[in-house]
Chain A
């Protein structure tokens, strides 16, 4: 036995397990995506069990590509993921830098900041859409109502009354509508995932070298320059981690989309898979393969972009 054989042999069960873990589902998805396979069919009962004799070639892919929601779902997936990433990274950096200073009540503030992360996605969605974004009963409706009655009151006020009487009545935005449901999802997921970004950025900020900062101060760097040239590059790797992990998670958003609008005006690939999977497993699997490809493209693209901008 050569020196390498024994360690490899010892590792192999774990590696095999992982391979099986990954390859079996992927293989099954691939297999289903090339055959006709539906859950229920009165006319063609032979399609209801997976078998090679139902081979359809690229037919499922063609079907998915030509279905009316596919390109919309791809675009919308990317839109939602990128918006959430953008918002969480920016907010995460801002908050992390802010609470990295020592101040009284620091511990409590940090715990409170992290807490949204422990809320279950479905609960998060229900809370947001009913209690905050609801145009009548939610904070959204109450706030707009409050502004309206304030403006109403000011219309009769002396001196400034004429100004306010030109104001229209405000309408609360309904976030279940076709045009806005994606924004509702972006908001609630951003709220939930910003703590994750804060947590990671905060640990990274604490490992920042203070002497480098002092050297920069002596070199005449302003607070902004210190942030731009030292802190931000220092955060490069954590940002990449946050982006990558979140991209993977948010490409598969489902609960929020279901709860906000049942996919009305706001589908992503997993939601489309869910819709197909009501009956057409073949099409659902083909969509799944597209989703895997999309996830890889997005990840590679995002990492390149971050690498370029931050690492000078």
Chain B
């Protein structure tokens, strides 16, 4: 599904990713953990095609395609979805319009007919149930004035509508209360398919209780310094990152 090899990237001239290698197979959930500023969001944004990061080396293959060669919109249309750590407010564009535009862009790319507003509303009704929201949210401008938790939930709603093959969730659990965390986790689990994969960036074991990862990776200083099974997350919870980052520093 996703094959990242030796990926290096810079922002504003500073090297942030220093050689990431990671393979995610269909059906798998991988968790990416690591200290603040280690490059987790950068990796997520680079995969989504954010123009402010420059890829300086390595390759990313997604479903056999060179992902780095694709425009951000083409990546999304091909099934890559990034739930932002900081979802963006778009005043003046309603959630309903935004979701339909995104949904129809994907359909158009697949050579399918666009869905008209009425049919789309039916589809939305289903998706809203998944995040336990009423329809009121649809007439509000995208994320404008949303609380931190509502913004995260809105990311999951978008994911539910777009049904991605590769979902990258960047700290979607941060800032959620316990109930909202369950809603988000249930949403992610409900959207898992044998032919889709999930990359979860998180700081907390508690999310991994709900979404059980196949692999856990620790990113530090722009490199993966440790990979393991789900028990690695528990170990991190206990011991913190220092023992790993020290080791990484010693290696470098």
Say whether A and B bind each other.
no
Give me the interface of B with A, judged by CB distance under 8 Å.
none
